[in-house]
A and B are shown apart, each in its own frame.
Chain A
Amino acid sequence: MASQEDNFKKVISHAKEYGYVFQSSEIYDGLSAVYDYGHNGVELKKNIREYWWKAMVQLNENIVGIDAAIFMHPTTWKASGHVDAFNDPLIDNKDSKKRYRADVLIEDYVAKIDTKIEKEVKKAEKRFGDHFNKEKFLETNPRVVEYVEQGKSILSRMAKSLEKEDLADVKALIEELDIACPMSGSKNWTDVKQFNLMFGTKLGASADSAMDLYLRP
């Protein structure tokens, strides 16, 4: 069976071969994370958009359409919290040079614990057959109870640290859980840093009168 990665590569090359999606600026070696839609891609995208639009706007008498400009008054983004809070806590692996969202690394760790719980439930289901009571099992089986507690306490600690902007503790949590880079297996991490994801530009004729703007996120 083909691996996930092979399948994904097939998707990307098929999209290119059949005129759905191309890498942007390919003759200049591309621009990372930017893509262009070819003839078929434009049509597919348009049909998806229309399918969504009909379901939302046409089928609901209390929903109306709007297509807003990408530029908006800068105060909009102060009010919305984007300037201060549109950040992701990112962490780099020093060996693989890959960058991750720290919270996603931790959530994926907890997802693995959840898989263990599912396995225990399946085993027990087999063992007890028709007499199996899933809810009771989840509440009473010591191993499962421990897993559940473990997951909960990890997530609540992470939530608290992110809330307090205590990024050092987010990193400490990653280290305590012994989380490795999924690409390289390395545990050699940088500190966690907040990155603002807003896209800035200037609007105006001269440098003096230009206004600092953000593109709508």
Chain B
Amino acid sequence: MKLLPRQFIFRMREFEQMEMQFFIQPGTQQQWYEHWKENRLKWHLSLGMGEDNYRFHDHEKLAHYADAAADIEFRFPFGFKELEGIHSRTDFDLGSHEKYSGKKLQYFDHETNKNYVPYVLETSIGLDRMFLAVFSNSLQEEELENGTSRTVLKLPAVLAPTKAAILPLVKKDGLPEVAQEIPDDLKWDFNVTYDEKDAVGRRYRRQDANGTPFCITVHHQTLEDQTVTIRHRDSMEQERVAISQLREIIHKAVDMRTWLLRMED
């Protein structure tokens, strides 16, 4: 499927790019090219979406501005396609802008006492494309032990739009009132939602499909001992914890620090 237009948000008329231009000393471009190739792949892998879903594609045919170029390709629903580009652009941009603008675009190197037009190493990733990579890879149909199946959106918790859903087990016995206090507190830290419609099992499925990493359920026991159950989206395991612990548990799971530190592994 490599139709030019119309591949959902893979190829849009209007899109957002996240680009980095790294200015370097001429002659060092090969080493920085390797550095950024490796660094950017590590960033992708830190999200835990499967090492097998990425590969490098080194360009044979170089664009007019590059002396080396590679793509990080991702396994989209329609096969491996470009997700991010890493380009060694030499002094093509700055040299050309010097010529057309008549302004010097140079750096004075104090160590060598010389001026030079910096070389540029660029990384460029489409935000919408990254969105599609994350979204499509996360959407899964799972067969469950009891013979049923569920649709679950296993977004990396750090990226999930809603971090937790708070659910009173039933819509009576004072449970909704107690449950509502939890999002009123957690909302200062996270995007959370409150849901009391339908049976609790259906609400779990709804949050699974929505990509919410945690469901917090308020039971009758909550009224007695201030504990709730917290259900993990991916494992569907539940544990009983104190309401006062919730903030810390969620924070640990969704904090960017935790996820980005995996780049160091």
Q: Quick check: A49 and B127 within 8 Å, CB to CB?
A: yes
Q: Kindly list chain B residues whose C-beta atoms are within 8 Å of the C-beta of A56.
A: 18, 20
Asked if B222 CB lies within 8 Å of chain A CBs, one says: no
| A to B CB contacts below 8 Å, 29 in the list | A10-B139, A11-B77, A14-B139, A14-B209, A21-B9, A33-B5, A33-B12, A35-B8, A40-B211, A41-B131, A41-B161, A43-B161, A43-B162, A43-B191, A44-B211, A48-B130, A56-B18, A75-B101, A76-B97, A80-B97, A81-B65, A85-B64, A99-B4, A99-B5, A101-B2, A103-B61, A105-B2, A159-B61, A183-B3
Residue of B nearest to A14 (CB): B139
Asked if A122 CB lies within 8 Å of chain B CBs, one says: no
Q: A51-B260, A56-B20 are in contact. List 13 more A-B contacts (CB 8 A).
A: A7-B77, A7-B136, A11-B139, A12-B8, A14-B209, A34-B13, A45-B16, A47-B159, A55-B260, A75-B100, A79-B97, A79-B100, A81-B64
Q: Quick check: B256 and A11 within 8 Å, CB to CB?
A: no
Q: Kindly list chain A residues whose C-beta atoms are within 8 Å of the C-beta of B4.
A: 88, 90, 98-101
- Which one, B150-158, B168-176, B180-188, is touching chain A? B150-158
Asked if B96 CB lies within 8 Å of chain A CBs, one says: yes
Q: Kindly list chain A residues whose C-beta atoms are within 8 Å of the C-beta of B100.
A: 75, 78-79
A196 to B22, CA, bound (A): 28
Q: Quick check: B93 and A51 within 8 Å, CB to CB?
A: no
Among B43, B60, B260, max chain A CB count under 10 A is at B60
Q: Can you list, as one digit per residue, whether each of A28-52 has a CB less than 8 Å from chain B (1) or not (0)?
A: 0001111100011111110111111
Asked if B41 CB lies within 8 Å of chain A CBs, one says: no
A104 to B79, CA, bound (A): 14
Q: Kindly list chain B residues whose C-beta atoms are within 8 Å of the C-beta of A10.
A: 139
Contacting residues of chain B (131-165) with chain A, CB-CB under 8 angstroms: 131-132, 134-136, 139, 151, 153, 155, 158-162
Specify which of A4, A42, A53, A79 is in contact with B78 (CB 8 Å cutoff): A4
Q: Tell me the smallest distance from the CB of B42 to a CB of chain A, in Å.
A: 9
Q: Quick check: A44 and B134 within 8 Å, CB to CB?
A: yes
Q: Quick check: A59 and B78 within 8 Å, CB to CB?
A: no
Among A55, A162, A182, max chain B CB count under 10 A is at A55
A45 to B9, CA, bound (A): 12
Given contacts A34-B14, A44-B134, A48-B134, contact A54 B61 (CB under 8 A): no
Instruction: Indicate the size class of the contact surface on chain A.
Output: 35 or more
Asked if B110 CB lies within 8 Å of chain A CBs, one says: no
Q: Quick check: B161 and A159 within 8 Å, CB to CB?
A: no
Q: Quick check: B3 and A100 within 8 Å, CB to CB?
A: yes
Q: Tell me the smallest distance from the CB of A159 to a CB of chain B, in Å.
A: 4
Contacting residues of chain A (1-37) with chain B, CB-CB under 8 angstroms: 4-5, 7-8, 10-12, 14-15, 18, 20-21, 31-35
Asked if B202 CB lies within 8 Å of chain A CBs, one says: no
Specify which of A14, A48, A98, A99 is in contact with B131 (CB 8 Å cutoff): A48
Residue of B nearest to A50 (CB): B256
A143 to B132, CA, bound (A): 39
Q: Kindly list chain A residues whose C-beta atoms are within 8 Å of the C-beta of B191.
A: 43
By Cβ-Cβ distance, the 3 closest A-B pairs, closest first, are A43-B161, A79-B100, A8-B77
How many interface contacts (CB-CB < 8 Å) are there between A and B? 149
Q: Can you list, as one digit per residue, whether each of A53-91 has a CB less than 8 Å from chain B (1) or not (0)?
A: 111100100010000000000011011110001001010
Q: Tell me the smallest distance from the CB of A98 to a CB of chain B, in Å.
A: 5
Q: Quick check: A8 and B159 within 8 Å, CB to CB?
A: no
Specify which of B6, B16, B136, B259 is in contact with A51 (CB 8 Å cutoff): B259
Asked if A144 CB lies within 8 Å of chain B CBs, one says: no
Q: Can you list, as one digit per residue, whether each of A155-168 has a CB less than 8 Å from chain B (1) or not (0)?
A: 11011001000000
Q: Kindly list chain B residues whose C-beta atoms are within 8 Å of the C-beta of A12.
A: 8
Among A10, A103, A156, max chain B CB count under 10 A is at A10
Q: Tell me the smallest distance from the CB of A41 to a CB of chain B, in Å.
A: 7
A50 to B256, CA, bound (A): 9
Asked if A108 CB lies within 8 Å of chain B CBs, one says: yes
Q: Can you list, as one digit per residue, whether each of B1-33 has a CB less than 8 Å from chain A (1) or not (0)?
A: 111111011011110101010100000000000
Q: Quick check: B136 and A52 within 8 Å, CB to CB?
A: no
Asked if B99 CB lies within 8 Å of chain A CBs, one says: yes
A79 to B155, CA, bound (A): 42
Q: Tell me the smallest distance from the CB of A107 to a CB of chain B, in Å.
A: 8
Q: Kindly list chain A residues whose C-beta atoms are within 8 Å of the C-beta of B151.
A: 14
Given contacts A18-B210, A63-B22, A79-B97, contact A44 B135 (CB under 8 A): yes
Given contacts A51-B256, A99-B3, A182-B2, contact A80 B93 (CB under 8 A): yes
